[in-house]
């Protein structure tokens, strides 16, 4: 026996790791109640965190998709909206030529705006709106979506296209296309045949107004587009004909922001009371606002994880205290402190990893329910966010375990065995 004892037991690393995993697995499976409790707390917390993350990412993704619909390669040029400018209309058709040149080609649609009242004489319904006089080019600049019918064609007279909101107000019970709309502008009555209904292009603006920190551009678009619109074709053949603004679609490869700055500079030099802004810039500003808002909202999952950490710490403290005798026996049999701490940590990491997988499934299920019942956007599960949530879960679990584990490993095993 003595000669055998002289042979040192070599510790192959793989064997030691295998033993640690075995101890951790046994530690979890032999304490089903404690394991189930920790698994429940961790899973629910991680699922909550993942759901919050997915909901916040989802709204940003949805916003970006929606906002892209306004056309990122479009520059808006509008007169500063005040009564003097509207009455004097200092911007003229001939100005649109240098605007188009500054845009390095592309398409331009001038427009005028008037306040108008329209009526359906059949059902005696009426409504106020903005009468937007433009050219058929408008339809090729902003990516318009039609609910029904079509957009205006070249030099088409006595035809109009309604914004969805106007159509719903004046023709709530039937299709507006094909109907005659009686429009009163400054006392003049005109009749237009409705050829199409546009999906409300400014619903997005209303949706995200509170997130838009773009300043002047925002207030301009808000004021001008306060009313819903009816589009008609105008005659813009005269160079001195006054216009209220234009929209420009820049050619592919040209930076809309650069074009907006160039046009703004030119209008300043010409002393014209106009503002030029790229819709891309507006979208970026809204997205920045959304980022800020979602970052603030992210505090919610930080709080969830913090509370989870406290709960796990409490459970770990109690659970490890109950294992003092077991750990003392392990110490007696040759486990060193680090192995004890490592075993308890590994147990927690395995548990956290399992919780993470379960939480991901629960979060996706919760996301589907939220989307079906409460949200107007789909929660988006981004792999890097889910990895972050899982990593934080494991990290918090490990942090909450390491203190009681180290404390347990540092206890005098003799004293523990004597007391228990």
Partner 1 sequence: MATDNKTALIQLEGIHKTYQDGVLKVHALCDINLSVGRGELITIMGPSGSGKSTLLHILGCLDHPTEGRYLFDGEDTNEYRDRKLAETRNQRIGFVFQSFNLLQRETAIENVTLPLMYAGANEAQSRAKEALRKVGLGERLNHRPGQLSGGEQQRVAIARAIVKRPDVILADEPTGNLDTQVGSNIKDVFKNLHADGLTIVLITHNPDVAEMGTRKLKLRDGQLEA
Three-class DSSP category at 2: helix
Give, in degrees to the nearest 5, the angle at Cα 78 between 239 and 128. 100
Site for partner 1 in 262-321 (CB under 8 A): none
Residue owning tokens 């001195």 = 240
Sorted by sequence, the CB contacts under 8 Å of residue 179 that are 6+ apart come out as: 120, 122, 171, 193, 194
Q: Is 33 in the site for partner 1 (CB under 8 A)?
A: no
Q: Is 84 helix (H, G, I), strand (E, B) or coil?
A: helix
Binding-site member from 115, 255, 414, 419 for partner 1 (CB under 8 A): 414
Q: Does 376 bind partner 1 (CB under 8 A)?
A: no
Q: Work out how close the CB of 344 gets to partner 1 at its nearest, in angstroms, rounded to a whole number.
A: 15
Q: Is 35 helix (H, G, I), strand (E, B) or coil?
A: helix
* Alpha-carbon gap, residue 27 to 9, rounded angstroms: 25
Residue 22 touching partner 1 (CB under 8 A): yes
Using the rule CB under 8 A, give the single segment among 9-17, 145-153, 266-274, 302-310 that binds partner 1. 9-17
Q: Which is nearer to partner 1, 173 or 333 (CB)?
A: 333
Q: Determine the Cα–Cα distance for residues 380 and 55; give it in Å rounded to an integer.
A: 6
What DSSP assignment string belongs to 102-138?
A: HTTS-EEEEEEEEEEEEEETTTTEEEEEEEEEE-TTH
Which of 199, 218, 337, 407 binds partner 1 (CB under 8 A)? It is 337
274 CB contacts (<8 Å, ≥6 apart)?
77, 78, 79, 80, 91, 245, 264, 267
| 417 binding partner 1? (CB under 8 A) | yes
Q: How many positions of this chain bind partner 1 (CB under 8 A)? A: 35
Longest dimension (CA), the chain: 118
Binding partner 1 (rule: CB under 8 A), the pick from 326, 375, 378, 402 is 326
- Residue 336 binds partner 1 (CB under 8 A): yes
Q: Choose the stretch contacting partner 1; rule: CB under 8 A; options: 207-215, 366-374, 398-406, 411-419.
A: 411-419
The reply to whether 13 sits near partner 1 by the rule CB under 8 A is: yes
Please, which residue, 58 or 342, has the CB nearer to partner 1?
Answer: 342
Angle between helices 32-68 and 13-29 (to 10 degrees): 100
Q: Supply the minimum distance, in Å, between the C-beta of residue 307 and partner 1.
A: 31
* Contact window for partner 1 (CB under 8 A) among 197-205, 271-279, 284-292, 329-337: 329-337
Dist CA 387 CA 372 (whole Å): 25
Query: Min. distance of Cβ 15 from partner 1 in angstroms?
Result: 4
Task: Based on the shown chain and the rule CB under 8 A, indicate whether residue 369 belongs to the binding site for partner 1.
Answer: no
* Chain residues in the site for partner 1 (CB under 8 A): 1-2, 4-5, 7-13, 15-16, 19, 22-23, 26, 30-31, 326, 329-339, 412-414, 417
């Amino acid at each position: 026996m003595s000669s055998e004892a002289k042979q040192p037991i070599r510790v192959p690393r793989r064997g030691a790791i295998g033993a640690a995993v075995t101890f951790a697995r046994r530690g979890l499976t032999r304490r089903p109640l404690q394991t189930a409790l920790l698994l429940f707390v961790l899973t629910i917390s991680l699922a909550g965190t993942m759901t919050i993350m997915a909901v916040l990412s989802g709204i940003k993704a949805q916003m970006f998709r929606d906002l892209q619909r306004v056309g990122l390669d479009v520059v808006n040029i509008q007169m500063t909206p005040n009564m003097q400018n509207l009455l004097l209309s200092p911007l003229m058709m001939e100005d649109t030529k240098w605007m188009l040149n500054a845009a390095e080609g592309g398409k331009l649609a001038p427009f005028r705006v008037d306040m108008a009242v329209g009526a359906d004489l059949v059902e005696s319904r009426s409504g106020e709106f903005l009468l937007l006089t433009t050219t058929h080019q408008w339809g090729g600049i902003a990516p318009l979506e039609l609910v029904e019918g079509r957009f205006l064609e070249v030099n088409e007279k006595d035809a109009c296209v309604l914004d969805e909101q106007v159509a719903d107000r004046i023709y709530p019970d039937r299709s507006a296309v094909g109907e005659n709309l009686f429009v009163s502008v400054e006392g003049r009555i005109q009749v237009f045949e409705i050829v199409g209904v546009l999906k409300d292009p400014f619903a997005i603006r209303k949706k995200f107004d509170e997130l838009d920190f773009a300043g002047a551009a925002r207030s301009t678009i808000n004021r001008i587009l306060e009313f819903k619109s009816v589009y008609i074709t105008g005659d813009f053949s005269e160079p001195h004909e006054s216009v209220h603004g234009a929209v420009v679609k820049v050619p592919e490869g040209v930076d809309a922001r650069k074009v907006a700055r160039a046009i703004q500079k030119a209008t300043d030099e010409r002393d014209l009371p106009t503002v030029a802004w790229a819709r891309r810039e507006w979208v970026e500003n809204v997205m920045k606002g959304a980022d800020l808002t979602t970052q603030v909202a992210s505090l919610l999952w930080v709080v969830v994880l913090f509370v989870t950490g406290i709960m796990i710490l409490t459970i770990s403290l109690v659970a490890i205290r109950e294992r003092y005798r077991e750990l003392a026996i392990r110490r007696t049999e040759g486990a060193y402190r680090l192995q004890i701490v490592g075993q308890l940590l590994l147990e927690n990491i395995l548990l956290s990893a399992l919780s993470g997988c379960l939480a991901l499934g629960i979060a996706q299920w919760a996301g589907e329910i939220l989307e079906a019942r409460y949200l107007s956007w789909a929660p988006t599960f981004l792999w890097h966010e889910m990895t972050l949530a899982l990593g934080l879960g494991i990290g918090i679990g490990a942090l909450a375990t390491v203190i009681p584990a180290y404390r347990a490993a540092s206890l005098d095993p003799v004293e523990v065995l004597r007391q228990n």
